[in-house]
């Protein structure tokens, strides 16, 4: 019995060491993945028609056969008229462009080119660009977000709008700091944009959300968690028990503070804690800059709230789902979905799936920045 107990304990210790090694390997793979760049494809899609089709189907489902036939007849007539108007607008624009070219070629004596006035009355709907960000622990999705924002900035007009469908429980500081900086490119160009949260925008996810001019969230979406967390397993005592030494050489007193395998010191712990506090202060200042109506000391406790509660604290501006928010613009805007898909190697896809599995098992309960 004593032999069995010792064997069980040794087996448990071995499994623990194996898990620690796997965690290190997964981290290395994720770092390698971020360093690899691959060509991708930008997908731009008019999803207004999809929403219109859903609306028409729902209307027809409540009609009898005769009403449905009349409705379809009117709908076909309306679609035909819209195509005709679009074709007319395209012709008028082409004609206008030709006039402008001719006008540019003709120079007057004072070298002033007379502007050509447009004679078209065709009203073109402004666009609502829809981007999505579903963030993981290392925020590697920021590369796709960067490409999408660059594409939108290249064509957006003053009357257009932008909405970001954001889902993230947070993750590493540098990853989400970069993601938030990408969203700030809109504000630097004076382009108002809205962030919509259906499930969660916590910690680093909220850091991204707070850059928006407006935050919309579903009633039970989790919002907030303005705090910083770090947890590091230490296997030093286990390794010592089995006569395994770890050599760690550094140049600089605080090159390493806490480690997984070395013997941690109280001085190292205090320095590590100081670094966490400094990061938290930067986080609070960032939120305060873009959400000036928020009592930052009240909400920067690391707590999270449901959106209905967060609205009372100034963390959210409006309660709504992303679907309802987009549908509210259907009559006035052309809804354009923008999605950049990066080609991934097989090793990248495998490591991505492994990392997601580890996140679900170990990290999803902690909303680390």
Answer whether 208's CB lies under 8 Å from 180's CB.
Answer: yes
Backbone φ/ψ region at 140: left (φ over 0), alpha (ψ -120 to 50), beta: alpha
Q: In angstroms, rounded to a whole number, what is the distance separating the alpha carbons of residues 369 and 206? A: 9
Beginning with the edge strand found earlier in the chain, give each strand of the sheet holding 200-202 in spatial order: 200-202, 222-224, 304-306
Contacts (Cβ under 8 Å, ≥6 apart) of 363: 137
| Cα–Cα–Cα angle for 158, 161, 167, rounded to 5 degrees | 150
Answer whether 201's CB lies under 8 Å from 167's CB.
Answer: yes
Answer whether 315's CB lies under 8 Å from 206's CB.
Answer: yes
Strand, coil or helix: 68: helix
End-to-end CA distance of the chain: 47
Return the active site residues: 203, 255
The half-sphere exposure of 146 on its side-chain side, counting CA atoms within 13 A, is 13
Answer whether 194's CB lies under 8 Å from 212's CB.
Answer: yes
Q: Which residues pair with 43 in a beta bridge?
A: 339
Answer whether 259's CB lies under 8 Å from 253's CB.
Answer: no
């Amino acid at each position: 019995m004593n032999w069995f107990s010792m064997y069980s304990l040794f087996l448990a210790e071995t499994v623990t060491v194996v898990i620690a090694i796997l965690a290190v390997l997964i981290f290395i793979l994720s770092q390698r993945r971020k360093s690899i760049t691959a060509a991708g494809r930008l997908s731009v899609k008019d999803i207004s028609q999809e929403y219109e089709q859903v609306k028409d189907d729902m209307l027809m489902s409540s009609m009898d056969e005769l009403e449905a036939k009349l409705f379809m007849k009117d709908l076909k007539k309306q679609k035909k008229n819209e195509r005709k108007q679009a074709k007319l607008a395209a012709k008028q624009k082409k004609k206008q462009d030709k006039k402008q070219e001719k006008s540019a070629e003709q120079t007057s004596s004072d070298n002033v080119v007379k502007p050509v006035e447009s004679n078209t009355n065709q009203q073109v709907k402004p666009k609502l660009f829809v981007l999505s960000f579903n963030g993981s622990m290392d925020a590697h999705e920021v590369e796709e977000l960067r490409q999408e924002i660059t594409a939108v900035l290249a064509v957006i007009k003053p009357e257009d709008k932008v909405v970001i469908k954001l889902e993230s429980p947070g993750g590493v500081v540098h990853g989400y700091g970069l993601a938030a900086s990408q969203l700030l490119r809109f504000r630097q160009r004076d382009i108002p944009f809205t962030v919509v949260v259906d499930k969660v925008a916590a910690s680093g996810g909220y850091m991204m959300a707070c850059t928006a001019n407006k935050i919309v969230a579903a009633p039970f979406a989790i919002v907030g968690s303005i705090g910083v967390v770090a947890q590091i397993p230490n296997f030093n005592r286990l390794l010592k028990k089995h006569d395994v030494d770890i050599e760690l050489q550094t140049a600089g007193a605080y090159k390493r503070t806490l480690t997984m395998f070395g013997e941690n010191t109280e001085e190292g712990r205090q320095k590590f804690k100081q670094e966490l506090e400094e990061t938290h202060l930067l986080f609070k200042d960032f939120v305060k800059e873009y959400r000036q109506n928020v009592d930052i000391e009240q909400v920067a406790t690391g707590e999270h709230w449901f959106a209905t509660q967060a609205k009372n604290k100034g963390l959210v501006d409006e309660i709504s789902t992303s679907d309802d928010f987009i549908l509210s613009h259907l009559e006035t805007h052309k809804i354009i979905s923008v999605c950049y898909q990066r080609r991934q190697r097989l090793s990248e896809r495998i490591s991505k799936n492994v990392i997601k599995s580890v996140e679900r098992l170990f990290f999803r309960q902690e909303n680390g920045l």
